[in-house]
Amino acid sequence: MKVTATFLDEITWDIPHQNWGPSEWDRDFAAMKKMGIGTVVLIRSGLARWLAYPSRYLHEKCGCAIPELDLIDLFLTLAEKHGMRFFCGTYVSQFYLGKGQPEKELEIDLKSAEEVWRLYGGRKAFRGWYLSHEFSGRNDALAELQAALGRRCKELSGGLPVLMSPFIRGRKEGNAWDPAILNGRESIDPEEHKRTWGGILEQLKGAVDIVAFQDGHTDYFELETYLRINRELCESFGMESWTNCESFDRDMPIKFLPIHWEKMLYKLRAAERAGFTEAITFEFSHFMSPYSIYGGAHGLYDRYMEYLEKQQKA
Amino acid sequence: MKVTATFLDEITWDIPHQNWGPSEWDRDFAAMKKMGIGTVVLIRSGLARWLAYPSRYLHEKCGCAIPELDLIDLFLTLAEKHGMRFFCGTYVSQFYLGKGQPEKELEIDLKSAEEVWRLYGGRKAFRGWYLSHEFSGRNDALAELQAALGRRCKELSGGLPVLMSPFIRGRKEGNAWDPAILNGRESIDPEEHKRTWGGILEQLKGAVDIVAFQDGHTDYFELETYLRINRELCESFGMESWTNCESFDRDMPIKFLPIHWEKMLYKLRAAERAGFTEAITFEFSHFMSPYSIYGGAHGLYDRYMEYLEKQQKA
Amino acid sequence: MKVTATFLDEITWDIPHQNWGPSEWDRDFAAMKKMGIGTVVLIRSGLARWLAYPSRYLHEKCGCAIPELDLIDLFLTLAEKHGMRFFCGTYVSQFYLGKGQPEKELEIDLKSAEEVWRLYGGRKAFRGWYLSHEFSGRNDALAELQAALGRRCKELSGGLPVLMSPFIRGRKEGNAWDPAILNGRESIDPEEHKRTWGGILEQLKGAVDIVAFQDGHTDYFELETYLRINRELCESFGMESWTNCESFDRDMPIKFLPIHWEKMLYKLRAAERAGFTEAITFEFSHFMSPYSIYGGAHGLYDRYMEYLEKQQKA
């Protein structure tokens, strides 16, 4: 069981920025490649007023700031240099959904995706899409939005694969600003998870090709059960199933620093037993990189490389 | 638009200490100087029981610990060495204000300022004062205290300039221990901000020379509006107006790590458009220094230096 | 007053992992030794599902994961290499106590201690035990559990010393996930502390040899009072008394980073005045080590080494 993909968490929602320029990113892509990562997935092309690319459309429509550094261009360039696939995350306005206007969110997300495809669609490394809205099945409007957005992305790009990474409404559900250990106040059990997501994946047929559930919201001992359900659900709808093996630790009061290697190993093995062959991680550059601003990531990289070596010998 | 001043956040309120000795501080002052910083402002000469200088008065009066390292002496020495101005922050007892006894707080703050002037007033780099109480206009007692303290500081020192750095009661008001995104529960709009501060600056005439509002409590899109109000208010009272361009990120669950460079750039440009020419930052050593314990600061320094270079070429 | 012992906080409860392998730990033990540390105390041999040693018993009984790295073996090897004593922490299930079943917790803790002794009791550096449950005197069931567990550890090992490190129900009591400054909602005063602990230590006679109260839950100015009470209590029961001089800062919103050296020095001096001669710290590797993932620890190590040097000259 190997980590073969990572998210790129710029523009971030709850993870502080590393303030890297092109040379730091180049070094980081080289480390990813060495670790066996072949696919990089931009978490989103923009969030609220902050953008990963200089979007005329979003600047005019939503007052977004035009960034100094065009991250989409940079990431494509580095993916090409290092022989990797790039999946582009869509835009998240973080505004209309909260106001109960998903159709406005969808309109903006679609226009931004069209602009992205116009600007970068011809690039060699542009090999897929990522639907940036994270959800857990409680929100019908979001499922519809994802379906429409996914279908449009495929249509634009001649059928490039579309990835999504929802979360499980497990015991550790909650948000990063929550005072207590993540509370899972509205958590559901595996059976309800299965029922709910059966309905949602039905809606998403033809719009989503790969589903990578986040693996951090369940207790460790329940993870394998959820992973099996997820794989079987995806298979039954003809979708690919990856695990999103999170490399940060949800159990600590500092939200978030790199996870303990023993915990990550536990999750990788649970995924292996559940029949998975592909893992993406959220995410390499903060939590697993030898160049991360967080020292715990340096050790996590070393431990993972030792694990890889052992696997290769075996 | 350049950052030409920084706070020195020792003794700190909510930012963990770097535990630097004289040689680490020397290295850091050299990096400040290289970045164009000409003024360093000690955030406070003491807080509760912790002191930046060995104060006999505060030891006896308030039971403060006599520090091993005399930071005021060290900072003056380094300011002299690197050709910078030093502004000295006043003492904050953090005790009497909460008990509704501002006159006791004032008495202690005054006596400490007098002791500071006695001990360090003759030093070449001692070029101004900083009033350490941060407030947002809700507190009449604090405005009075600031006025009395500022007047006394000027009187003591033959008229050296007095700086203050209040905060705006914007949407992100709140405290660092708050569980949720900073809540702005008692936030006010730009018009009320203007009215309130018109009254306060009237009170502070003759006591304060420079006002540097913190720029982190408003939403980004409103910042320019507030900045314009602040500059115009100061001008109308004959005060100098700087922006306090915060280099830490208020939007993240870890309170606090260095800000994203794109956000800082956005704020600097908003200040430029609003007619500002001087920026102080809170603060270089934790959040922008190539030697900071926080890795995100190293990138922020590099990005800022690239920006400076571009400015100089243009 | 010197720090002569440290906890080893693996497996951790609220401190993120550094993800070190054997060579990083070796380097760290060398730095401890250089600083004068002669005793290392494993904080616990396991917590919930995570273990410091490959326990067949706990794997089968509680579904614990068998770790890749046997930390108890590694720490014993390094203690032997660097000429240090190793005290082994007991297991904490974190499950039965919350359900009001202390007798089940005790049964598991005992069986794990027996297994630990079977596996590692013959090792040269195995020189004592640590009772891993931290409590503050409110919980009679825990005192009984500690007594039974301590007695059994001594019995197993031919009387090796047993250490415990309770906390004081002071003003800063609270938990690391608490939103506000630690609240001390249920704090007690020094007199009640003395009464309560008089009763508890009576219960623990013959089961505990060394008591090292944590020094971080009181306000600084009260610390000496508590320290005197603690030393006198221990003396009256024939127990050894150390101070647990915490090297992390409880006063900051990031829970937790290294403490300011001036605060640590203040606490060491208070312990010295109160008649202590031994200090353990929680803990070296994250908060005082020159190799810590937290930069503030590097400075703390340097400042402490300067302090040691001054002491030796004096």
Tell me the DSSP string of chain C. Answer: --EEEEEE--S-SSS------HHHHHHHHHHHHHHT--EEEES-SEETTEESS--HHHHHHH-PPPPSS-HHHHHHHHHHHHT-EEEEE-EE-SSTTTTT-HHHHHHHHHHHHHHHHHHHTT-TTEEEEE------SS-HHHHHHHHHHHHHHHHHTTS--EEE------TT---TT-SSS---TT---HHHHHHHHHHHHHHHTTT-SEEEEESSSS-GGGHHHHHHHHHHHHHHTT-EEEEE---B-TTSSSTT-BPPHHHHHHHHHHHHHTT---EEES-HHHHT-TT-SSHHHHHHHHHHHHHHHHHHH-
Q: What is the pLDDT along chain A (314 residues), one digit of tens a residue?
A: 999 999 999 899 999 999 999 999 999 999 999 999 999 999 999 999 999 999 999 999 999 999 999 999 999 999 999 999 999 999 999 888 888 899 999 999 999 999 999 999 999 999 999 999 998 887 788 999 999 999 999 999 999 999 999 999 888 877 676 655 455 667 789 999 999 999 999 999 999 999 999 999 998 999 999 999 999 999 999 999 999 999 999 999 999 999 999 999 999 999 999 999 999 999 999 999 999 999 999 999 999 999 999 988 98
Identify the helix (H) or strand (E) that includes residue A241.
Answer: strand A240-244
**Nearest C-alpha in B relative to A22:** B303
Distance CA B7, CA B128 (A): 13
Residue B262 has pLDDT above 60, yes or no: yes
Residue C182 has pLDDT above 60, yes or no: no
Look at residue B271 in the predicted model and tell me its pLDDT.
98
φ/ψ of A259, rounded to 5, equals -75, 155
Q: Measuring CA to CA, which residue among A141, A137, A51, A148 is closest to residue A97? A: A141
Q: Do B299 and A176 touch (CB under 8 A)?
A: no
Q: Is A34 on the interface with B (CB under 8 A)?
A: no
Joined tokens for residue C71: 């930390």
What confidence tier does C169 reach under pLDDT thresholds 50, 70, 90?
confident
Q: Do B68 and C265 touch (CB under 8 A)?
A: yes
Distance CA C41, CA C79 (A): 10
Q: What is the CA radius of gyration of chain B?
A: 18
Residue B186 has pLDDT above 80, yes or no: no
Look at residue C185 in the predicted model and tell me its pLDDT.
64
What percentage of chain A exceeds 70 in pLDDT?
96
Look at residue A172 in the predicted model and tell me its pLDDT.
82
Strand partners, C3: C279
φ/ψ of B8, rounded to 5, equals -115, 110
Joined tokens for residue A180: 């207590």
Joined tokens for residue A246: 């999170």
pLDDT in tens, C35-70: 999 999 999 999 999 999 999 999 999 999 999 999
Please give the average per-residue pLDDT across B79-105, as a whole number: 94
pLDDT in tens, A159-200: 999 999 999 988 887 767 665 545 566 778 999 999 999 999
**A301 close to A283: Cβ distance less than 8 angstroms:** no
Distance CA A243, CA B236 (A): 61
Q: Which of A271-275, B218-222, C241-245, C299-303 has the lowest mean pLDDT?
A: B218-222
Q: Rounded to a whole number, what is the distance in angstroms from the first to the last CA of chain C?
A: 13
Please give the average per-residue pLDDT across C126-139, as a whole number: 91
Q: Rounded to a whole number, what is the distance in angstroms from the first to the last CA of chain B?
A: 13
SS3 B225: helix
User: Which residue among B253, B295, B306 sits closest to A18, beta carbon to beta carbon?
Assistant: B295
Residues 127-186 of A with CB under 8 A from B: 176-179
Average pLDDT, chain A: 94
Count Cβ atoms below 10 Å from residue A180 Cβ, excluding itself. 12
What confidence tier does B172 reach under pLDDT thresholds 50, 70, 90?
confident
Which chain A residues are within 8 Å of B270, Cβ to Cβ?
none
Average pLDDT, chain B: 94
**Nearest C-alpha in A relative to B305:** A21
Higher-pLDDT residue of C217 and B94 is C217
Please give the average per-residue pLDDT across C220-239, as a whole number: 97
Strand A39-42 relative to strand A85-89, pairing: parallel
Residue B189 has pLDDT above 80, yes or no: yes
Q: To 10 degrees, the CA torsion angle through C225, C231, C234, C235?
A: -130
The residue type of C237 is F
Please give the average per-residue pLDDT across C110-119, as a whole number: 98
Look at residue A169 in the predicted model and tell me its pLDDT.
87
Residue B93 has pLDDT above 80, yes or no: yes
Q: Do B18 and C295 touch (CB under 8 A)?
A: yes
Residue B187 has pLDDT above 90, yes or no: no
Q: Is A68 on the interface with B (CB under 8 A)?
A: yes
Q: Is A63 on the interface with B (CB under 8 A)?
A: yes
The pTM score is 0.96
Residue C179 has pLDDT above 60, yes or no: no
Look at residue A187 in the predicted model and tell me its pLDDT.
79
Which chain C residues are within 8 Å of A262, Cβ to Cβ?
50, 65, 67-69
pLDDT in tens, A232-241: 999 999 999 9
**A28 close to B272: Cβ distance less than 8 angstroms:** no
Look at residue C314 in the predicted model and tell me its pLDDT.
83
User: Angle of helix A295-313 relative to helix A22-35, nearest 10 degrees?
Assistant: 30
Look at residue C181 in the predicted model and tell me its pLDDT.
47
Residue B178 has pLDDT above 90, yes or no: no
Joined tokens for residue C270: 């208070």
- Three-state secondary structure readout of C204-244: HCCCCCEEEEECCCCCHHHHHHHHHHHHHHHHHCCCEEEEE
Which chain A residues are within 8 Å of C179, Cβ to Cβ?
179
Residue B181 has pLDDT above 80, yes or no: no
ipTM: 0.96
Which chain C residues are within 8 Å of A258, Cβ to Cβ?
16-17, 19
Average pLDDT, chain C: 94
